[in-house]
Structure 1
């Protein structure tokens, strides 16, 4: 489906089209009834097809998703060639039309679209979806992908169709008519791809009653999803914005990833000769959309239309459905721009988006604005002309000088800190200590204690030589008793887990103490501490920073200074082991000591072994004088996209206001993961190191008086 802006691959199908087909099929999924168990290869549980639109979101037909019971389905997908299939539970989060019921004759009213939200995070590929508004597609050739029952077995298939026109028009029931190939049962919900541009433009809806072909729905119909009635205070409050911001950030981060041999959608689009809006390369468009998606969404459709009108004047036709997000308005610019002014129009649009009114801000909003400006400045270099570049620079300077009407991230942090101040009084806590046996590294001695607000600790139970894998069952009763002594109504006590450095990655927060119990970390704050700080490798070594040597006593002073700063003035996250998806070694202790006191180290690739072992990375952080650190237990493929973890971890740390809120914030993320909330999926496997230097563990020294 093309409008003449992209000539397609010369010479017909070739390497680019084969690569595009691989990308499409990698994102295509099949949908089964919920609770299918081991019957996922049985045609009787199969409902239809779909595709990953964004991380943990599937787009399909409403008649496919609604065929499940109670809006629950099972999504079956492949993580890569030869890796086999995996299954994950999903639920229908939105459907169009909202309240349709299957008519007697088996048809479903247009637009017949549904968004399925996965109930747990998984690693998968996502399709690239067009940002253009609907148009008449002439006789374009499109690629489709899906699943069907062939010879009694479920088989993946793809093919091509020719666009033959539309059905309906100028309303939400418009469909695109396809012909030229048989669309077998089961492919409904699969993606329809513009072969010239290399982007998904529609969703297969129906097959023809007789003969070849059928119909598909344009993906732009998702813009007609209901606008939230309540005030939007976060990105996930609006499903449409949450899905497409995640989509655009995913493709931006995938394009940046240096540790993969696979082609990206932008790579293939470039081979096809696509030129988005006659102004940008596919890579430039991917980066622009990713940066726009780092901003808060537009405050309303009306505001977007006003922005378009200010740029286009009387040449601004209103697309139908009207734009909802930054990407939609950018697509509308493509249709209205002239050849000679297309690039300037896109850059002007980016500058307007940077300064637009927002429904909310996040701790990362200012950094997102600067990143977008850097993109504008780089693209403008040497292309539109010196006078235009000067005008852009002047706009940026004016943007810096004009105070925002919306609250700054600093204001928001201060308000949260003030609201939290009354609840900072020390409370009862439970302490679990594990001692690894040198002669039996697979076994531990353990101690369960009750901690008092004064810091005094009373031993409750002890045990010896417990196998690591048996610890949840062995400790279930002692921990339950300790929790009973410390919990208050509606306020479960914190669990502090003191671990030897070789076990700091132990997933105590994932332990389930009973068959009907939630994981510990989803029910209460769970933090880890280092139980053998005095025995760490190289623990007696001197560290030098700018020629100054630090001995162990200095390390204690450094820990206390850092601890005081991040609790009094707030903190900033610093990812230490990952650069754009590539694992890098954690810097040495002397380098870590040189970071500002507001720094909280973050490890993205804990468990993705490329360099040193994970315990070595944590030892460096402990030696660097840090009492607070975040990491996640890596569960993805080596080339998995991780930009969302970097972004969200930074916002969580910066937005906390004071580091003493982090145990509760991490607990809330774990509870959200347990509840299947996609906005928390970035935190899958998250762990919090929270080791107060003013309250030593039993046996490590006298109780220190807090300042």
Structure 2
């Protein structure tokens, strides 16, 4: 091992701990862990599960040379502690020392800003129970495969000792901890690990921990041997000012940790994209919860882009923070100081003249609170789509689901798909979609500008109350958590997936050019307008039905609307069964007429309806008419992904 490698291993040793019972009664250690910030230990959730499943508040001990402290579980990612095996994305736990900060000085590992998964050689660290006594072990290991989103496969010929689960995996090339040891393979060598990027799944707690991590490293702490992690990162190069160095990264992350956190992931993504002159990064976009996560997008492979790119991103963060009244004088001063080291003077304006993207400029006061957000067309912003494919041959309605993300700039991408065998009944969809769809929406929502949600399913199932779905079991008293009150939620016809037909495209083009609209009461008692009536209807007329779309006469009316190119429609998902319309139908038609007459463009309609749904949630009077109303907003310019080659059949 090189001298640099040995020094790195000594730092890892100083930061690694083992966990054991609070009684200190001679029972073996539970497993290993490591300090990621002052007072914060990261370990594997399964290391704690068997001891804390019954009562997660039970205290235990964290021990290493010079440290013997009481600790408690702060959070783990386990959703079902009784599950026999723990998936990689849930096998993390954050532990916090119970004593006052600073009472137990200790080393902290360095965690990179990049979210990429490691491949290749590394060092596996942890504690082994003996005999004769617990002692630190470090072994050579190698990652030669990946599993799911966060899993790492450790090469089979690696012999991991018992007790090291929860310990750190150190990359000797980058000088950073890139993963956490999950398990050995039973009755054979090798094992599994969890990529350190899974730490982001802790959400707000991740923000707190990483801010403490960056402040601690930013103070340039030295180990007893006189080392720190930053000085041992990468191959030393002559600092010409053009390269982004580990020292630059440390100082930038320290300054970013002092700022208010970003409001949402798209804000970070937009600023990183602008810093890269709109040249996208490879391998998709990871979760972006902090400003430091944005710097992790400014790499090609494992190498940082030039310093000007990072300084452009920092300048964007500075301007965003300043525009919202935040204190960023320290960051601004350091950007200017660092820019003076960059030798290419003519390119300094590339940093100084950074302007905020239009979407990130603050909107003043009242206009921000109730402004109408236009629904995005092609090139105008992102959408999230849930595609619900009915299971062919099922005795009762069941669906397979897919989640798609469309950034508006190109083809939509599949985010996650149903892996079940039998699909799900309509009433079970909310529960199964809660975690993956909630995660996708949180990743793409702008502050005050939630991404629209499109739910595509066959029109005979258009009465599925998707606008009533809620993902939060616990919410504030004034926040019901219903999707339709939070964001623009629209339905799309799954039978229209793929290339749009001419009738549909032509009618949409006509409507997109109009500045006034009116409603069209398409059901007069039991009568349904014919196909010719639907085809010849003026472009400004939007079909409205006081009956459900899933049973006649509403089903026939919806079918004719779709067949004849209508892309927008309102209907009552419960409706009435009587032949004659009650008085409530007159209210419905009058209110929809009022709504569509208030818009000046087709793209305003979904958000106008969201405002009404929000008023229902706020218990505003005179809005109850909209509670059972659904909206189809089916834009042919952004077609749904085409159907799979093979049908989704019910299993035998």
Scaled by the length of structure 2, the TM-score of the pair is: 0.50
Identify the structure with bigger relative contact order (alpha carbons < 8 Å, sequence gap 6+): 1
